[in-house]
Amino acid sequence: MKRLSTLLVLLFLLGSALPSLAQEMMDYPSDLTECEVDLTGETINIFHFGDLSGPYAFITQPVVSAVTDAVNYWNGRGGVCGAELAQIYEDTGGSREAAQSAYDRFTSTYGDQLDLLLLYSSDDGELLREQLAADEIVSFISAGSIESLYGEDGQTPGWLYASNPLYINQFGFFCQFVAASPEVFPDPVIGFVTWPNAFGRAGTEPAAREYCSGLGVEVLTEPQFFLPTDTDILTQVQNAIDGGANIIYTNSLATGPALIAGTLVDLGLEEDIKLAGVNWVMDTTVGILGQRVLKPNGLPSVDGMFGSMPFLWWTELSHPAVQFVYQQFTINERGPTEQNIAYLVSWGVVDSIIETFIRTVNRVGSLAAVSGADIRATVDAMDYAILGGLMHHRFDEGMRDATQNRIAVMKFANADMSGAATGPGDAMLVDGPAGKMYLPIVVPLTDFMPVPQLRG
Amino acid sequence: MANIHPAGVFDTTYEEDMSVDRTTRDKLWKNLAFAALLLLPLVSVSGPLGLGWVSDQYIGLIARISIFVIAVQGLNILVGYTGQISLGHAAFMAIGAYGSAILARELGFSFWTALPVSALLTGLVGLLFGLPSLRVKGFYLAMATLAAQFIIPWVLRYPLEDLTGGTRPLSVPAPMIGPFASYADDAIGADEPLAFQAGDPYFVDVISVDLTAVAGSYPIIELINPAGDAVPYGDFYMSIAEDSDGNITGLSYIASKAGEYQVLVRAQNGGEFTAVLRRSKALSFATDIAMYYIILPLAVLLMFLARNIIRTRTGRAFISVRDNDLAAELLGINVFGYKLRAFFLSAVYAGVAGCLLAYERNSLSLDAFQLDTSIEMLAMLIIGGAGFPLGAMFGVTFIRLLQEAMIPTLRPWLSDWLPQLLPFVDAVNITSAINPILFGGALIVFLVLEPRGIAHRWEVFKVAWKLRPYSY
């Protein structure tokens, strides 16, 4: 953890040296709907709970920081339509029992105030899907499973709305990319090496296999599973390769992708076998953890790993949304460990919550009159560029997940920050407690494009 | 602990000697406590009286405690009464949970039949995994039962994936009584939406559309819910009737949401049809409060039965096997037979608990039945008092209150204070660390200071109270 923190401090310092940002305070980048109702003296609560500690803490902790900063930003400017923003959250440590208990506590304590809830994990989404529908509470989640968003039959839209495309659709989109890049992926055969939970298994469904097969991309029928706590997955990786895979796809995060990449290097197959994954593999954390094993060319094992990128990234500083979040990150003197996906996306989620409340209150006339059903009606009709383009919320025609995605590749910055390093010789190296470290960057390879709909 | 009576109370008949509640006061206190628990939901925030004296979260908490009391009581029969060990109790719960869910989903069993059938099924599987107790005991038996904890979830996850959904969640229907006789029949005209009001959390409307069409006309039935959405045919609460050609001839649906529904039958190909909308009422147990009234009485009943087992020949045989199996065998007790009975009973209790857990949550996941749950239940029993009828209740209540009431209260304070006191503590992960630390700490404290558990301390306290002022 110390090693990681130190490196991220350096990353943060490097980030400060990136192309100059305007020093004066930027305008809020969103085109928010104008308030028609004065809410002075009232409070809009942002409710959220999930696994803030435990194995996912790397990714989830910055959620609280981002929401705190966003709340302070708005309250410092007179609130939203005059209403003060507040956040009410709880850490469930990744336990289903704790999640159920937190949900019971929230619903019994806040009753009618709880119309919109932010969740993090697919497991929590699946656990609470029916309860949210029964209690008429809308939930925003980063990326849910088919079952949490659309029910067992994949056809029953519920009360959860995801900011990212379904994982199965992300996988289908990756197959499109593979099929369109025969020079990079000749005779592609994809094998899953993934976590065994709801998140990890997404994309292993027959529908995804059939779709990819139709594109000329074979997918092995038997996924290989490993636990987030595993430290040796040689057998799983070897099984996938023995099955014929020349691309390994993973639905895991933090240590998961780094472990697979390291194993490929250990096997001497880092050039022959490509590694790819869901949007969470494209995180700074993976770029850091992937440096525990270096390739023979001297670059970290995760160099060249492909992944989904359905939102803008920290390095896309030409976009006002990223500039704005980056400025807030700097002003609030956030710790370097927080400059990740969660901090960036959480600002966007708060923006979408604000827009949702403004539209709903404008329609129903007061904050007290807002119900979960009203929020749902607003979200169903929403077509909104979050923070002016960081992400997009559009959930019409029964959709509950995002429909646009792009593919990116993880690289490491070269010495003058003008592009990706080709080896240790031209890489940007910084001092860390365990020696020199590389600076991970995420390079988008495609534009935003519609994902295939594979939920059946 | 000897059965001590208050001063002046003497047993003069066999019935008095055998009575569970020897004095009227004992009986009164128990009945009052049970009545108070039964009344609790009525005065809760969502209760029908609207008094709001008790937060709804405590209704859910008591229900969850009751479910685990049943499971741990099963473990008590095996571990506490009979002296056998099991590290696969959560897996047995999984069989009860998935068994009842599959019976309901695939074979149309009601909750009331799925519960005993799945419990019996779990008992039979328990017998199977009890077979090694013929040859091994102690540590080796623990390893044998540990096999159940790995094999059963694997079987549910992979070979039975089509039925269980594997790692995906499995929805479970709410228990229901009914539907009763139809109270309204309305003819549906072609392309004319028929609107009706439905929805009550307790007395839900079960609607059915019966369709008779001229061959080749294939009418389409649409059901619109109060939110204005068309209910898909794959909806969990809808069942479809089809003819031999696969044409839909009717549907039934549980309309639990309050509001206006609409039924529309569209004629196709100019064909004619007759369609009737039938509505009937059913008593639903979908709400937490309604489930509470299934779970709590069942927990009390099973506690009572477990309490009485040790007063029977079977119970005395269990205890003799626990205390000295060699001596028990010399006395003519079929040790293996009684061990198997203990495994069977223990698994039946686990099956009931698993079934209740599935129906209480309306959703099942294998994550709820992992090894850590088995170990946690064993720890609950040790803390509560293995071998005491009330041990399960004390252990589960203590741990659940610790996890769901005490830890959330302590969390903010510990998050501020602990990193200052112990600099090596990672402030980020305090929350996830509090639970295992307090759980492990409680276990150590009890093993060292009160190895016979809270129930033993309770018995000591009771005796002291009855013998006052001469309790010494």
The residue among A2 and A43 whose pLDDT is bigger is A43
A201 touches chain B (CB under 8 A): yes
Q: What's the total number of domains in chain B?
A: 2
How far, in Å, CA of A87 to CA of A68, rounded?
7
How far, in Å, CA of A57 to CA of A255, rounded?
12
DSSP label of A159: S
- Say what angle helices B56-75 and B391-401 make with each other, to 10 degrees: 140
The answer to whether A275 touches A248, Cβ cutoff 8 Å, is: yes
Burial of B61 (0-12, 13-18, 19+ CB in 10 A): buried
**Residue of chain B with shortest Cα separation from A146:** B168
Q: In the prediction, which pLDDT does B97 show?
A: 97
**Is residue B13 situated within a structural domain?**
no
Q: Are residues B408 and A105, on separate chains, in Cβ contact within 8 Å? A: yes
- Closest CA of chain A from B287, distance in Å: 9
Q: What's the Cα-to-Cα distance from B470 to each of B10, B94, B296, B339, B466, rounded to whole Å?
A: 17, 50, 37, 41, 9
Q: Give the end of a domain, one of B269, B284, B299.
A: B284
Contacts of A109 in chain B (CB under 8 A): 55, 57
The answer to whether A301 touches A262, Cβ cutoff 8 Å, is: yes
A221 touches chain B (CB under 8 A): no
Closest in B167, B368, B430 to A196, CB measured: B167
- Domain A13-165+320-404 is found in CATH 3.40.50.2300: yes
Q: What's the Cα-to-Cα distance from B169 to each of B23, B303, B362, rounded to whole Å?
A: 49, 31, 10
B169 touches chain A (CB under 8 A): yes
Amino acid code (one letter) for B296: L
Q: Are residues B56 and A147, on separate chains, in Cβ contact within 8 Å? A: no
How far, in Å, CA of B105 to CA of B112, rounded?
14
Number of A/B CB contacts below 8 angstroms equals: 114
How far, in Å, CA of A332 to CA of A238, rounded?
46
**Is residue B60 situated within a structural domain?**
yes
B26 touches chain A (CB under 8 A): no
Which residues 6+ apart lie within 8 Å of B322 measured at CB? Answer: B81, B82, B83, B387
Q: Are residues B169 and A104, on separate chains, in Cβ contact within 8 Å? A: no
B23 touches chain A (CB under 8 A): no
**Residue of chain B with shortest Cα separation from A64:** B428
Contacts of A148 in chain B (CB under 8 A): 169
Of A159-163, B1-5, B333-337, B448-452, the one with minimum mean pLDDT is B1-5
Helices (H), B131-174: 139-157, 161-164
Which residues 6+ apart lie within 8 Å of A145 measured at CB? Answer: A122, A125, A126, A166, A167, A198, A199, A202, B168
Q: Is the pLDDT of residue B342 over 70?
A: yes
Query: With pLDDT > 70 as the criterion, what percentage of chain B qualifies?
Result: 97
- Closest CA of chain A from B58, distance in Å: 9
How far, in Å, CA of B81 to CA of B11, rounded?
26
B45 touches chain A (CB under 8 A): yes
Mean pLDDT, range B449-453, rounded to an integer: 93
Helices (H), A111-218: 122-135, 146-150, 167-179, 198-201, 206-214
Q: What is the pLDDT of residues B148-176, one digit of tens each?
A: 999 999 999 889 988 998 877 888 888 99
- Closest CA of chain A from B425, distance in Å: 12
- B362 and B299 housed in the same domain: yes
Q: Which of A154, A180, A188 minimizes the C-alpha distance to A169?
A: A154
CATH number at residue B406: 1.10.3470
- B168 and B191 housed in the same domain: no
Q: In the prediction, which pLDDT does A42 show?
A: 96
Which stretch, A108-112, A340-344, A369-373, has highest mean pLDDT?
A369-373
Longest dimension (CA), chain B: 93
Tell the residue number behind the tokens 């009234």, with chain if given.
B293
A179 — pLDDT class (breaks 50, 70, 90): very high
- B137 and B194 housed in the same domain: no
How far, in Å, CA of A250 to CA of A190, rounded?
10
Q: Are residues B56 and A57, on separate chains, in Cβ contact within 8 Å? A: no
Q: Is the pLDDT of residue A311 over 90?
A: yes
Q: Which of residues 364-423 of A touch B (CB under 8 A)?
A: 373, 376, 398
How far, in Å, CA of A302 to CA of A295, rounded?
9
CATH number at residue B250: 2.60.120.380
Closest in A52, A107, A145 to B431, CB measured: A52
**Is residue B155 situated within a structural domain?**
yes
The residue among A162 and B168 whose pLDDT is bigger is A162
- B307 and B159 housed in the same domain: yes
**Which residues are registered as beta bridge partners of B186?**
B277
How far, in Å, CA of A331 to CA of B260, rounded?
52
- Domain A167-313+406-450 is found in CATH 3.40.50.410: no
Q: Which of residues 23-52 of A touch B (CB under 8 A)?
A: 51-52
Quickly list DSSP for B310-365. Answer: TTSHHHHHHHHHHH-HHHHHHTT--HHHHHHHHHHHHHHHHHHHHHHHHHHHSEE-
Contacts of A104 in chain B (CB under 8 A): 56-57, 60-61
How far, in Å, CA of B315 to CA of B310, rounded?
4
Mean pLDDT, range A26-30, rounded to an integer: 90
Of A440-444, A446-450, B95-99, B110-114, the one with minimum mean pLDDT is A440-444
- B139 and B263 housed in the same domain: no
**Residue of chain A with shortest Cα separation from B434:** A93
Token pair for residue B218?
Answer: 């294939």
The residue among B259 and A356 whose pLDDT is bigger is A356
With vertex at residue B11, the alpha carbon angle to CA B9 and CA B17, rounded to the nearest 5 degrees, is: 125
Q: Give the end of a domain, one of B229, B249, B284.
A: B284
With vertex at residue B305, the alpha carbon angle to CA B300 and CA B306, rounded to the nearest 5 degrees, is: 95
What are the φ and ψ backbone dihedral angles of A43, each rounded to 5 degrees?
Answer: -130, 130
Q: Are residues A134 and B235, on separate chains, in Cβ contact within 8 Å? A: no
Tell the residue number behind the tokens 């310092």, with chain if given.
A13
- Kindly provide the b/e burial profile for residues B266-281, where b requires at least 16 CB atoms within 10 angstroms of the residue's own CB: ebeeeeebebebbbbb
Of A397-401, B28-32, B97-101, the one with minimum mean pLDDT is A397-401
Contacts of A129 in chain B (CB under 8 A): 169, 363
Cβ count within 10 A of residue A12: 17
- B384 and B400 housed in the same domain: yes
Amino acid code (one letter) for B90: A
Q: Give the end of a domain, one of B259, B284, B309.
A: B284
A18 touches chain B (CB under 8 A): no
How far, in Å, CA of A121 to CA of A200, rounded?
12
Which residues 6+ apart lie within 8 Å of A58 measured at CB? Answer: A254, A285, A337, A340
Q: Is the pLDDT of residue B217 over 80?
A: no
The answer to whether B239 touches B142, Cβ cutoff 8 Å, is: no
How far, in Å, CA of B437 to CA of B440, rounded?
5
Q: In the prediction, which pLDDT does A5 show?
A: 42
B368 touches chain A (CB under 8 A): yes
Q: What's the Cα-to-Cα distance from B326 to each of A145, A167, B127, B211, rounded to whole Å?
A: 55, 59, 22, 70
**Average pLDDT over chain B, rounded to an integer:** 88
Q: In the prediction, which pLDDT does A2 show?
A: 44
How far, in Å, CA of A4 to CA of A308, rounded?
24
Strands (DSSP E) along A65-113, which ranges?
A: 84-91
**Is residue B368 situated within a structural domain?**
yes
How far, in Å, CA of A439 to CA of A223, rounded?
32
The answer to whether A218 touches A188, Cβ cutoff 8 Å, is: yes
Cβ count within 10 A of residue A13: 11
- Report pTM: 0.81
Q: Are residues A152 and B166, on separate chains, in Cβ contact within 8 Å? A: no
How far, in Å, CA of A47 to CA of B364, rounded?
25
Q: In the prediction, which pLDDT does B238 show?
A: 81
How far, in Å, CA of A139 to CA of A49, rounded?
11
Q: Is the pLDDT of residue A34 over 90?
A: yes
Helix, coil or strand: residue B257: coil
Token pair for residue B335?
Answer: 């040790």
Long-range pairs for B37-45: beta carbons < 8 A, 24 or more residues apart: B37/B62, B37/B296, B38/B293, B38/B296, B38/B297, B41/B289, B41/B292, B41/B293, B44/B289, B45/A108, B45/A111
What is the Cα A216 distance to its own chain's centre? 28
Contacts of B56 in chain A (CB under 8 A): 104, 107-108
- B276 and B291 housed in the same domain: no
- B310 and B371 housed in the same domain: yes
- B275 and B317 housed in the same domain: no
Q: What is the pLDDT of residues A206-264, one digit of tens each?
A: 999 999 999 999 999 999 999 888 889 999 999 999 999 999 999 998 889 999 999 99
The answer to whether A228 touches A195, Cβ cutoff 8 Å, is: yes
Tell the residue number behind the tokens 């309309």, with chain if given.
B255
**Is residue B43 situated within a structural domain?**
no
What are the φ and ψ backbone dihedral angles of A75, each rounded to 5 degrees?
Answer: -65, -30
Q: What is the pLDDT of residues B183-203, one digit of tens each?
A: 889 998 888 889 988 878 788
- B291 and B280 housed in the same domain: no
Closest in A123, A145, A376 to B367, CB measured: A123
Q: In the prediction, which pLDDT does B2 show?
A: 52
Domain limits at B209? 176-284
ipTM attached to this prediction: 0.70
**Average pLDDT over chain A, rounded to an integer:** 88
- B320 and B427 housed in the same domain: yes
Mean pLDDT, range A142-155, rounded to an integer: 85
**Is residue B82 situated within a structural domain?**
yes
Write out the residue limits of the CATH 3.40.50.2300 domain(s) in chain A.
13-165+320-404, 167-313+406-450
Q: Are residues A53 and B234, on separate chains, in Cβ contact within 8 Å? A: no
- B184 and B264 housed in the same domain: yes
Which residues 6+ apart lie within 8 Å of B438 measured at CB? Answer: B402, B406, B407
Query: With pLDDT > 70 as the criterion, what percentage of chain A qualifies?
Result: 93
Of A340-344, A373-377, B421-425, the one with minimum mean pLDDT is B421-425
Q: Are residues A91 and B403, on separate chains, in Cβ contact within 8 Å? A: no
Mean pLDDT, range A396-421, rounded to an integer: 89
A11 — pLDDT class (breaks 50, 70, 90): very low
Cβ count within 10 A of residue B445: 11
- Closest CA of chain A from B435, distance in Å: 9
How far, in Å, CA of A334 to CA of B119, rounded?
54
